[in-house]
């Protein structure tokens, strides 16, 4: 039974993709599965650095930031592949699209991790079931593994997601902190790097528990306000909300879906694009954004992936306009192969407050009417004085 506090508490998930770049490469090329492999910045250079590696490679003692030369000394047969940023971005967008089918309260914090607030769609009672659904859908539809942490706040959720990898689901409650978190060295705590660890060691703090129970004045002198935040986190206190708009640095908004059966009919595919356009338009409008680049993703039944894009003159944010561009791209480039997954991404984003629509045959009449109105306004201002006439503002 859940107590009253647990029933009303926030329930935050932290989703962390497992060996993301390596997993994406394995999903595109199944021959890379089950073997030691890694993604490196320059695979032909022995001094190239590993960006990530498979769990088979990790089991041999190979790790991220190791050089290619070092990895090959440990495992001469390790397969090294170069990074493909576009491939990873597409996979990332697809993951976040799946998460948003559950709730709009999704906050991506990097290409391979996100926070999700599920308080209003099940809370702690159904948290494990929701997490399992998300994990299995991402694995089934995208062939990508992830781990999920479940907790009452962001800090604890992120801590929990690290506890079991790959394909782990972990619940971390505040009452478990003294037993599970406090005995760990401070460097194991999210937000503590080597320089912070050094300063904490200098004032006699070596474990997370010692940080949690340290004198506030002592911590503030050593680390300032950040030290006080870390002390709160060590006590399981974190009031940051899940903010879907916090990641505005993201350059695109997209949505994709894996079809229940392989689609071979054009009209069926176009209907899927119509639904995807609706989803993308909804998210663009909520964030008051528009974009000048449209890209579609097509994955065929044999897992062959292709993307096609075009740049448009007038920024897009309406469902009908997004669908029109996506449908044209699809009809132009689809070769008739059975389709497994479809996606739409709008990028090169700008705020709709800054939209400047280029004159075209379709918009000329509207601009002509505006020009006529400007002349009337000028005549009225000449009669009644400058700034005596104002345009009405659209209510937001």
Residue at 378 is within a domain: no
- Higher-confidence position of 156 and 301: 156
Q: Is 392 left (phi over 0), alpha (psi -120 to 50) or beta?
A: beta
Instruction: Note whether 64 and 143 are same-domain residues.
Output: yes
Instruction: Note whether 75 and 151 are same-domain residues.
Output: yes
Q: How far is CA 173 from CA 40, 211, 290, in A?
A: 38, 19, 40
What is the DSSP track for 72-100?
Answer: HHH-TT-EEE---HHHHHHHHHHHHHHHT
Last residue of a domain, one of 172, 187, 205: 172
**With 0-12 CB in 10 A as exposed, 13-18 as middle and 19+ as buried, what is 26?**
buried
Selection from 214, 378, 330, 346 nearest residue 278 by Cα: 346
Residue at 384 is within a domain: no
Q: How far is CA 213 from CA 119, 152, 205, 206, 276, in A?
A: 30, 21, 10, 12, 50
Q: What is the CATH number of the domain that holds 297?
A: 3.30.1490.100
Q: What kind and span of H or E run contains 270?
A: helix 266-287
Q: What kind and span of H or E run contains 266?
A: helix 266-287
Instruction: Note whether 216 and 309 are same-domain residues.
Output: no
Q: What is the CATH number of the domain that holds 191?
A: 1.10.150.20
Q: Is 262 annotated to bind ligand?
A: no
133 lies in which domain range? 1-172
Neighbour tally for 377: CB within 10 Å: 14
DSSP letter (8 states) at residue 243: -
- Higher-confidence position of 353 and 102: 102
Model confidence band, residue 375 (pLDDT cutoffs 50, 70, 90)? low
Instruction: Note whether 19 and 150 are same-domain residues.
Output: yes
- Could you identify the residue written with the tokens 């999700």? 116
Instruction: Note whether 106 and 33 are same-domain residues.
Output: yes
Residue at 133 is within a domain: yes
- Measure the CA–CA gap between 35 and 39, rounded to whole angstroms: 13
**Catalytic: 113?**
yes
Selection from 166, 158, 183 nearest residue 56 by Cα: 166
Residue at 193 is within a domain: yes
Last residue of a domain, one of 172, 187, 215: 172
Instruction: Note whether 36 and 165 are same-domain residues.
Output: yes
Residue at 230 is within a domain: yes
Instruction: Note whether 141 and 277 are same-domain residues.
Output: no
Q: Which residues pair with 13 in a beta bridge?
A: 116, 150
Instruction: Note whether 25 and 163 are same-domain residues.
Output: yes
- Measure the CA–CA gap between 334 and 346, rounded to whole angstroms: 19
For residues 21-33, give the mean pLDDT: 95
- Measure the CA–CA gap between 2 and 98, rounded to whole angstroms: 29
Last residue of a domain, one of 234, 267, 283: 234
Residue at 67 is within a domain: yes
Give, in degrees to the nearest 5, the angle at Cα 126 between 164 and 149.
Answer: 25
Q: Is 112 annotated to bind ligand?
A: yes
Give me the torsion for CA of 20, 22, 24, 30, rounded to 10°: -140
Pair 369, 377: CB distance under 8 Å: no
Instruction: Note whether 152 and 201 are same-domain residues.
Output: no
For residues 63-80, give the mean pLDDT: 93
pLDDT in the model for residue 392: 43
Per the document, the length of the chain is 396
Instruction: Note whether 51 and 189 are same-domain residues.
Output: no
pLDDT digits (tens, 9 = 90+) for 162-176: 999 999 999 999 999
Instruction: Note whether 94 and 24 are same-domain residues.
Output: yes
Q: 61 by DSSP, 3-state: which? A: coil
* Torsion sign, CA atoms 79, 82, 87, 91: positive
pLDDT digits (tens, 9 = 90+) for 77-128: 999 999 988 889 889 989 998 999 999 899 998 889 999 999 999 888 899 9
Model confidence band, residue 364 (pLDDT cutoffs 50, 70, 90)? very low
Residue at 241 is within a domain: no
Neighbour tally for 47: CB within 10 Å: 11
Asked if pLDDT for residue 389 goes beyond 90, the answer is: no
pLDDT digits (tens, 9 = 90+) for 228-271: 999 999 999 999 999 887 765 457 888 888 888 889 999 999 99
Question: Which residue among 25, 113, 263, 319 is the active-site one?
Answer: 113
- Measure the CA–CA gap between 159 and 176, rounded to whole angstroms: 12
Mean pLDDT for all residues in the chain: 86
Residue at 389 is within a domain: no
Helix and strand numbers (H, E) in the chain are 14, 12
Instruction: Note whether 199 and 76 are same-domain residues.
Output: no
Work out how many domains the chain is built from and give that number: 3
Centroid of chain to Cα 191:
20
Backbone angles phi, psi at 17, to 5 degrees: -70, 140
For residues 352-365, give the mean pLDDT: 48
Pair 348, 251: CB distance under 8 Å: yes
């Amino acid at each position: 039974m859940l107590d009253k506090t647990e029933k009303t508490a926030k329930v935050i998930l932290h989703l962390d993709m497992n060996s993301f770049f390596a997993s994406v490469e394995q999903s595109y090329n199944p021959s890379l599965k089950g073997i030691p492999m890694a993604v490196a910045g320059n695979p032909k250079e022995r001094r190239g650095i590993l960006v990530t590696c498979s769990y088979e490679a990790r089991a041999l003692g190979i790790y991220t930031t190791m050089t290619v030369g070092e990895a090959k000394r440990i495992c001469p047969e390790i397969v090294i592949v170069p990074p493909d940023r576009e491939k990873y971005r597409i996979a990332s967008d697809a993951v976040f699209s799946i998460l948003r089918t559950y709730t709009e309260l999704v906050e991506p914090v990097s290409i391979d991790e996100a926070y999700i607030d599920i308080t209003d769609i099940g809370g702690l009672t159904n948290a494990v079931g929701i997490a399992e659904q998300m994990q299995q859908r991402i694995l089934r539809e995208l062939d990508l593994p992830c781990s999920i942490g479940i907790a009452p706040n962001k800090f604890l959720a992120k801590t929990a997601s690290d506890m079991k990898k790959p394909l782990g689901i972990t619940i971390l409650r505040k009452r478990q902190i003294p037993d599970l978190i406090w005995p760990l060295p401070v460097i194991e705590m999210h937000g503590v790097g080597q320089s912070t660890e050094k300063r904490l060691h200098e004032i006699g703090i070596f474990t997370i528990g010692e940080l949690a129970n340290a004198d506030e004045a002592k911590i503030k002198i050593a680390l300032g306000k950040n030290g006080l935040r870390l002390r709160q986190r060590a006590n399981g206190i974190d009031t940051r909300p899940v903010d879907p708009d916090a990641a505005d640095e993201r350059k695109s908004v997209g949505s994709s879906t894996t079809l229940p059966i392989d689609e071979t009919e054009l009209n069926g595919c176009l209907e899927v694009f119509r639904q995807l356009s609706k989803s993308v338009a909804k998210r663009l409008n909520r964030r008051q954004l528009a974009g000048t680049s449209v890209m579609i993703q097509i994955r065929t039944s044999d897992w062959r992936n292709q993307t096609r894009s075009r740049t448009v003159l007038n920024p897009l944010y309406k469902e009908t306009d997004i669908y029109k561009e996506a449908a044209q791209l699809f009809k132009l480039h689809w070769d008739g192969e059975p389709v497994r997954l479809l996606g739409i991404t709008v990028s090169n984003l700008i705020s709709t407050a800054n939209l400047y629509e280029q004159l075209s045959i379709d918009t000329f009449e509207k601009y002509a009417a505006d020009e006529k109105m400007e002349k009337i306004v000028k005549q009225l201002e000449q009669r009644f004085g400058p700034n005596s006439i104002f345009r009405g503002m659209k209510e937001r």
